Amino acid sequence: MASVIALNLSFSMYTSGSSQQLYSDTIAVFKHNSITLSSVRDYWPGYWGYQQYPCVANIATTSVYTASGIADSIRDNRSHNNENDDLPYVKQVKNVALEMYRPLPKSTVVTQSNPTVSLHWRNADYSEVRNDNLWLVGRVKNNYVGVRRSCAEMINGVWGCEKTPGSSWVIIVGDSLMYGSFNNFQAIIDSSRFTERWYCDSVAQQSDYFAQIIIDGDTVNHVWGVDILATGINEVSSLNNAGLIVYPNPASTSLNIAFDDAPATGVIEVYDIIGELVFQSGINSKTMTISINHWREGMYAVRVSSDSGTLSKCFLVSH
């Protein structure tokens, strides 16, 4: 008989310093015979920490989990603490978990900044493994697991993907009593629908990362909104943003920044989703064009500062 348990726990988390604090967290646990899926929800998502397994599936004699940081087939090559460079946001509904990675700005004290998320998956542990597009599906006797990866790439001998500006993974577990044959479990996965997108909430001044998986009648989704102020825009606009026009949006090869009335003096700055300055220029005309051929896909924010105040708008780069 399957069961899902939510536990409210208070325990210690060590940060990059020597201090210790207590936090209250919710742990979801799904168990059915020889399979389990457990996760810690909203445990400092986007930040660096020592929590090794924010989400882990156990299928009979093997475990499956993701971790941000160095991707290497030899796990001991990771640091001795096996810390995550960036903790994910995890949302679990029954036997399905959605993991979202979105690195947030860190203190300069924290030097870890590896841009990858890797999957702990050992083919030798399985009776059968199927690599189906972005899904990796495994069977250990009558126990099943499926992982939807953020990409189908391998890094240093393991499945791994870049996590910047964001990436999402899905884990589902089951067995023959729940789904019947392995082929039927595969069919459930093939009929699933995954959605992922970035958008800018100009009213809330937020950059939002949305992911959703619909599978086996269940929907698991989350909107991860980050205040633009936390990603490099350190002033709320005091002017009417209608005076600033940014097009096309989404942009592919070039971006136009136009003004109803260009200020006599001022500075244009463009920040990426994690707050890094990627472009800066003085204002020299009512319409300026920026080449963005080599910019990474994702959400960006334009900030225009002048003696009259500050204007800001979001746009998306999609090649």
Do residues 317 and 300 lie in contact, with contact meaning Cβ atoms separated by under 8 Å? yes
Average confidence score pLDDT of the chain: 80
Q: What is the pLDDT of residue 73?
A: 66
Which CATH number belongs to the domain containing residue 242 in this structure? 2.60.40.3080
Q: How many domains does the chain have?
A: 2
Domain edge (last residue) among 230, 256, 287: 230
**How deeply is 61 buried, as exposed, middle or buried, from its count of CB atoms within 10 A (0-12, 13-18, 19+)?**
exposed
Q: What pLDDT score was predicted for residue 56?
A: 95
pLDDT for 311: 78
Q: Rounded to the nearest 5°, which phi and psi values hold at 243?
A: -75, -5
Containing domain of residue 113, as a range?
Answer: 3-230
Nearest to 103 by CA among 49, 29, 53, 36: 49
Q: Are residues 32 and 80 in the same domain?
A: yes
* Domain end residue (candidates: 230, 265, 300): 230
| 258: Cβ contacts below 8 Å, ≥ 6 apart | 244, 245, 246, 247, 286, 287, 288
Specify the DSSP class assigned to residue 260: S
Higher-confidence residue: 80 or 302?
302
209 & 291 share domain? no
The pLDDT tens digits of the residues spanning 162-175 come to 877 789 999 999 99
Closest by CA position to 281, among listed 304, 300, 250:
304
Of 203, 230, 257, at which residue does a domain stop?
A: 230
Same domain, 141 and 185: yes
Residue 4 pLDDT grade (very low, low, confident, very high; cuts 50, 70, 90): low
Count CB atoms within 10 A of the CB of residue 76. 8
**Spatial contact of 207 and 200, defined as CB atoms under 8 Å apart:** yes
Do residues 246 and 102 both lie within one domain? no
- The tens digit of pLDDT for each residue in 177-198 reads 999 999 999 999 999 999 988 7
